[in-house]
Amino acid sequence: MSRATGVKSRLSRYEGAWEAINRLIRAGGSWSGFERSCFFAGNGSAGFVNQSAVSGLDYLEDGRGLAVWDYDRDGDPDLLVKNRNAPQVRILRNDSGRRWHRLKLRLEGGVSNRQAIGARVVLRHGGVSRVKELRAGSGFLSQNSPELFFGLGGSVKAERLEVTWPTGSKQVFLDLPADREVLIREGEKEISSRPFKAPSGRRPAAGGPAAAVAVDEPRRVWLLDPVPVPAIRMRDLSGGKIPAGKFKGSALVLNLWSPECSSCVLELSEWSRRREASRSELAVLTVTEAAHRGSKETAELIRKAGFPAAFAEPEDLLALSVLVEEVVRWPRGLRLPCTLLLDSSGSLVRVYEGRVGWSELSRDAAGIRAKPAAQLARGLPFAGRYYASDWYRNEFQLGVSYLEAGLPAQGLKAFERTLRRRPGEIEALYNIGLIQLQSGNLDAARDAFETALAVQPEFVDAAANLGVVLARQGRLEDSYRVFDKVLELRPGHIEALMNIGNIELTIGLPERAAARFEKVILLEPGLVAAYKRLGAVHRSAGNLAGAREVYVKATEITPSDPELWSNLGVILAESGRFKEARKMCERSVKVSPGYASGYNNLGLVLQALKETDGAISAFRSAISLDPRTPPAYLNLARLYLKLGMPPKAGKVLREYLELEPGNPEVRKLLRSLDD
């Protein structure tokens, strides 16, 4: 579904979804589940026959568009097929032969539109009438050529042909000879015609009209606009760090290999011999996974190759894989050996997938600084004249790809480079703001969102996140105003409703907050976070029955959420229903054995039930699961004090202070024990 025109809203999610789909296709996936294409032929009796298999047209590609045309001018309809995946275009020539006669008609409007769209033609031959209309938009994202094809069977002429033009005027023509291309102009009595061209007789080469590239065939790509390679953390064979800028200043061959890849090993061996023979000074750095660093076999292969070697973490290799996927549109997951040619600034200029010879590498490295015309000629996959004045890469989508891969630091740099070339790119500003917000850099996040809003004041998602930043900075009044503005522009903005409700709850407006959360639940009944906040509102107002009802509904939506069961236990405990509270807390740690708060609340309930040993065990479980959270330490220490065990209480508090020495509440309790 396309967005409605005129809607001012950010498109990142929409575009990101399409990019994810395209990535699936590039990785060999299928939009339509590998369904075969269908081809139906008319049987002459108002019916059709499925000839998909016998015609050879039952391809497995994700068909997207289809157009009919006569590309070889021999009078029969050929097909142009557009696919989502490779081969993206197929031209299917009709070689059905000349057993029957045919007529191809072209119309040219005069008073009507030039292409005569909307014209209706009735052709009669051998006692049979055929009716066709000339239409625009013949298929999805497709348009047939503006020609009408008529099969005449054994008839050698069209006895009568009537054209009704879009204006309503009519023309009639008699005894038109078959096997010709006929042009009729609106209002003219004379027609022009010419015979069809002879069929070429050529057949497609073995392997089909567009044989796929072999999986093992090497691939090479020159980049028209070099792109910076992400800085990767590397260590040498002994474990020492390799400075990121060590190889800048000259061309560098970055070879990605694995000791388990025989082709990689052969390539490095060939490079070593050729380099020594040519006395080349071209710098080479071989890079493999850090997991291979302790291997004696790997060390021996590196020694034999004689090139500087580096070991990189999986996250850094992923960054290189994302880069290659995005700039050359290959599937993610590099096929080894993969070689990257970098210029003196550390930017990627050429990619090689599969083995590459040393002489080719040397020649390419020497030609990095070619003149613009030469760069263009080698970078384009086809010959032609380039009319644009400049070319450059928009790295915005590269930044999005980094974010999708969980690499925000690399995404931030890509978005910043986008802004240097396109300062008003609000989507880049928005994503910079998100990254800075998630990293806790609130001032930088605020600057990014405010800059985006200065360019487009109605950018509601940027405003909503600006409100989050202001709230975290303690500027609740400013944050409230921002969220209020967001809701003016988009009353159903879920994040704004949630956040303004949280502010209203904080500043003592529980009724307003409850109304916000209830509206969220109405808009998105499955959003459990809204139930949690509404339950908190009821609890803060002393409406424990209302809070319990809300949480029960939430557990029906997400029964695997331990916080819901734990909160239910707390509410039941506050109502004095400790046995029921115990069941809820036990359910919490059952659905999530690693949920520390569940054990802490269970300990409080067991303490209320005077099950001291169980309470101590529950508090200890909470501490082991989350050693840096004070409630369990404080609750356990207080329980020991209640049991008359001050030394044990002091020991618990000192355990916590070793981890978090600055906690004032723990220090206060410990001082009271010392006194």
Fold of the CATH domain 224-379? Glutaredoxin (3.40.30)
Q: What is the mean pLDDT of the chain?
A: 88
What's the average model confidence in pLDDT over 298-304?
A: 94
Could you tell me what percent of the chain has a pLDDT over 90? 65
Q: Single out the residue of 178, 209, 195 nearest to residue 94, CA to CA.
A: 209
More confident residue, 211 or 587: 587
| pLDDT value of position 332 | 62
- Assigned superfamily of 393-490: Tetratricopeptide repeat domain (1.25.40.10)
Count other C-beta atoms under 10 Å from residue 464's C-beta. Answer: 25
Q: Under CATH, to which class is 96-195 assigned?
A: mainly beta
pTM: 0.70
Structure tokens at 364: 């390419």
| Per-residue model confidence as pLDDT tens digits over 579-631 | 999 999 999 999 999 999 999 999 999 999 999 999 999 999 999 999 988 89
| H/E stretch holding 671 | helix 664-674
| Per-residue model confidence as pLDDT tens digits over 95-133 | 876 778 999 999 999 999 999 999 999 999 999 999 999
d(CA 413, CA 440): 17
DSSP 445-476: HHHHHHHHHHH-TT-HHHHHHHHHHHHHTT-H
d(CA 616, CA 486): 48
Q: Are 39 and 92 within 8 A, CB to CB?
A: no
pLDDT at residue 302 greater than cutoff 70: yes
List the domain boundaries for the chain.
Answer: 96-195, 224-379, 393-490
d(CA 571, CA 560): 19
DSSP 36-65: PP--EEE-SSS-EEE-HHHHT----S-EEE
| pLDDT value of position 435 | 96
| pLDDT value of position 215 | 43
Q: What is the DSSP letter of 163?
A: E
Helix/strand/coil (H/E/C) assignment for every residue in 100-130: CEEEEEEEECCCCCCCCCCCEEEEEECCEEE
Alpha helices of 609-644 — where are they, by DSSP H? 612-625, 630-642
| pLDDT value of position 390 | 67
d(CA 124, CA 160): 5
Peptide bond into 87 cis (omega under 30): yes
209: confidence class by pLDDT, cuts 50, 70, 90: very low
pLDDT at residue 139 greater than cutoff 60: yes
d(CA 433, CA 415): 10
Q: Single out the residue of 469, 439, 471, 438 nearest to residue 452, CA to CA.
A: 469
